[in-house]
Amino acid sequence: MATLYVMEQGCKLRKVGLRVRVEKEGEQLAEFPLIKVDRVVIYGNVSITTPLMSYLLREGLPASFLDVRGRAKGELRALFSPAGELRKSQYCLTLDRERQLYLCSSIVRAKIRNQRTLLQRYVRRSGRIEPDGALDYLLRSADEASGAMSLEELRGLEGRSTAVYFRALRRFVPDSLEFYGRNRRPPKDPMNAMLSLGYSLLLVNVMGAIESEGLDPYIGYLHSDRYGKPSLALDLMEEWRPLVVDSLVLSLVNRKVLDRDDFIEEEGSVLFKDHAARKFISQYNGYLYHRFKHPDRKEPVTLLEALQLQVKRFCSFLRHGTPYEPFMTR
């Protein structure tokens, strides 16, 4: 099973028998067996026919819609879920401030620790001096997250720690990419363009893991429940941002898989060239199938499987009150 990414602007997706066909201006560009597709991800100006949408809904296969910059816009998904009791527990948690705070502090602590681990790896590999005391700052911040007294305090701590982390990360990014820290909407340099697209792809994967368990991705705890915002997915992807996206992007730029020539500037925004976006997505997908040892399994698992296991940990927290164990790497 695989994810079908469609990036060619002006394309149309249609169902032809038991296959999905990609067309543009009446010409067939590609065709795939539907049995091998488990998700469709559509970028920008791409249309999809009603018969294909009906098939995806009937089979419970999600379609994700992103804009041309890679920002998530929404999802096509079936209406009903058999996990009614689990969703009740999810909704009840919104009324339990103490358990919410425990969950969110665990997530934020794990995110900061994983940021610190990634930064520490690059300090060791490069032989450079620790950047501006960032490692000590992140270690203190992770400890402070465990003792936060409110969600507001926790959000502030997470924001400050992330700013320190990205400033420190600048030292390990080639100067030609002009990376001075995190910015978005729109991204103003190639590094931020890669981070933004990577986070959008990660969000799609986490959304899929959440929906497969029958949870409501729009009811979360750390992120606000603004209309149309997949708050739970954003909550549960936090600890994975440095492990999946940041790590991949740093690897790509330091191995010169992507560089400044792979991007264009348009109306104050830096965008991928078409070939570069395809290359990034290919690298991202390959990264998801990297296998490693996971404490919940005897055999090595892929990153994609690890995301699913983490959502199962969250479900156990909801159902049985089992302490939520975020995923942290060494």
Q: Where are the domains of the chain?
A: 2-61, 84-320
Q: How many residues does the chain have?
A: 330
At 321, give phi and psi (nearest 5°): 75, 15
The CATH number of the domain covering residues in 84-320: 1.20.120.920
Bigger pLDDT: 318 or 3? 318
Whether pLDDT at 82 is above 70: no
CA pair distance 266, 274, nearest whole angstrom: 14
pLDDT attached to residue 79:
66
pLDDT level of residue 66 (50, 70, 90 thresholds): confident
Ranges of H-type helices in the chain: 50-59, 84-93, 97-126, 134-146, 151-169, 190-212, 231-237, 247-254, 274-288, 303-320
**Residue-wise pLDDT tens digits, 174-232:** 888 888 888 877 888 899 999 999 999 999 889 888 887 888 888 999 987 665 688 99
- Cβ atoms of 231 and 254 within 8 Å: the answer is no
Q: What would the mean pLDDT of 283-291 be, rounded to a whole number?
A: 88
Distances (CA, A) of 216 to 61, 190, 192, 208: 16, 33, 29, 11
Distances (CA, A) of 200 to 27, 143, 207: 30, 29, 10
**Among the ranges given (66-70, 115-119, 122-126, 136-140), the one the predictor scored with the smallest mean pLDDT:** 66-70
Residue the block writes with tokens 């991705």: 217
CA pair distance 66, 69, nearest whole angstrom: 8
Look up residue 266 and give its two tokens. Answer: 């348009």
Residue the block writes with tokens 């001096």: 129
Distances (CA, A) of 303 to 93, 182, 254, 292: 28, 24, 22, 8
- Cβ atoms of 12 and 47 within 8 Å: the answer is yes
Bigger pLDDT: 166 or 77? 166
pLDDT attached to residue 212:
79
Percent of the chain at pLDDT > 70 equals 95
- Cβ atoms of 218 and 90 within 8 Å: the answer is no
CA pair distance 218, 225, nearest whole angstrom: 7
Bigger pLDDT: 162 or 76? 162
**Residue-wise pLDDT tens digits, 213-227:** 888 888 999 987 665
Q: Which one, of 200, 290, 204, lies nearest residue 245 by Cα?
A: 200
CA pair distance 198, 70, nearest whole angstrom: 8
pLDDT attached to residue 153:
93
CA pair distance 328, 48, nearest whole angstrom: 39
Look up residue 48 and give its two tokens. Answer: 């999809």
Q: What secondary structure does DSSP assign to 113-127, as a single string? A: HHHHHHHHHHHHHHT
- Cβ atoms of 164 and 134 within 8 Å: the answer is yes
Range 2-61 classified under CATH 3.100.10.20: yes
At 271, give phi and psi (nearest 5°): -120, 155
Pairing of strands 63-66, 37-43: parallel
Strands of 19-24's sheet, edge to edge? 27-33, 19-24, 12-16, 47-48
- Four-residue CA torsion sign, 278, 279, 282, 283: negative
